[in-house]
């Protein structure tokens, strides 16, 4: 997601661990432990969450790394070009939302704190801004293909056939479930972030196509549109399923189930 774009980061906020973020990590782990002990989450849901966290981090770091390549070091100065998960935690998107969705039976989904990018500092802001936006979903697509191909070549046909016939992913080793979960999660992340709603990455394409005279008005309303994707996730999950399903069907074909 790119809701932080166009606003300079406060690089002076150090590179140490924010005590508030550490507190949220502890709370999240404690809640997860309680849910596991009370059997409110399954092993597969835990594996999906374990796959989700590094996937969203790589997505966000790729935005900052591409921006740096184009001349904007905002993310670097903010200490966000790191794989340390604590630096990327958004209390709601990384902890609260996944727990709520898991408990509601919708599925595991979430997002990291957007990496700050100052588009005005890019050498060619309008064109390179689109590339910086789309590199996140591109990373998820590459990861989805990599995990899909790994699953297709590492899992015996007999196991995949049993999973296909029963729909029970637990009929395979835990490591195979994790590979499947990682590929599946990255398909979801790629497709979701390509939806052309601000602040999702796909909106950068719409923004690039807008005439220059309409951009000031667009920039004024963009900060208030962050709730749109969340409302879709919470209120109309079936609409998202209709968006995700074609991509998931193609990915499952690659996986060979």
**Tokens at residue 28, please?**
């999240």
Q: 179 near 251, Cβ under 8 Å?
A: no
Q: 140 near 190, Cβ under 8 Å?
A: yes
Distance CA 95, CA 163 (A): 30
Gyration radius from the chain CA atoms: 19
Other C-beta atoms lying within 10 Å of the C-beta of residue 228: 15
- Based on the residue annotation, tell me whether 60 is a catalytic residue of this protein: yes
Distance CA 170, CA 223 (A): 42
Sign of CA dihedral 47, 227, 96, 132: positive
> Rounded to an integer, what is the distance from CA 132 to the centroid of its chain?
15
Angstrom distances, CA of residue 11 to CA of 8, 23, 43, 46, 189:
9, 22, 39, 34, 28
Catalytic residue among 45, 60, 128, 177: 60
Just list the catalytic residues. Answer: 60
């Amino acid at each position: 997601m790119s809701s932080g774009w166009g606003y300079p980061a406060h690089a002076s906020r150090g590179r140490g661990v924010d005590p508030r973020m550490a507190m949220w990590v502890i709370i999240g782990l404690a809640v997860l432990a309680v849910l596991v002990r009370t059997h409110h989450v399954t092993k597969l849901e835990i594996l999906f969450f374990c796959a989700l966290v590094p996937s969203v981090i790589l997505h966000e770091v790729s935005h900052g790394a591409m921006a740096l390549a184009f001349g904007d070091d905002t993310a670097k100065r903010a200490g966000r070009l790191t794989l340390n998960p604590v630096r990327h935690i958004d209390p709601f998107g990384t902890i609260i939302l996944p727990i709520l969705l898991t408990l509601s039976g919708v599925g595991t989904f979430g997002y990291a704190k957007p990496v700050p990018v100052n588009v005005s500092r890019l050498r060619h802001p309008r064109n390179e801004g689109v590339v910086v936006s789309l590199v996140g979903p591109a990373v998820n697509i590459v990861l989805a293909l990599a995990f899909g191909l790994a699953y297709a070549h590492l899992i015996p046909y007999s196991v995949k056939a049993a999973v296909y016939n029963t729909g029970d992913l637990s009929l395979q080793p835990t490591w195979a479930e994790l590979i499947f979960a990682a590929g599946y999660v990255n398909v979801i992340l790629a497709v979701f972030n390509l939806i052309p709603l601000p602040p999702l990455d796909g909106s950068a394409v719409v923004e690039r196509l807008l005439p220059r005279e309409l951009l000031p008005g667009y920039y004024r309303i963009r900060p208030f549109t962050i709730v749109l994707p969340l409302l879709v996730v919470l209120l109309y999950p079936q609409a998202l399923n209709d968006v995700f399903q074609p991509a998931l069907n193609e990915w499952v074909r690659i996986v060979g189930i």
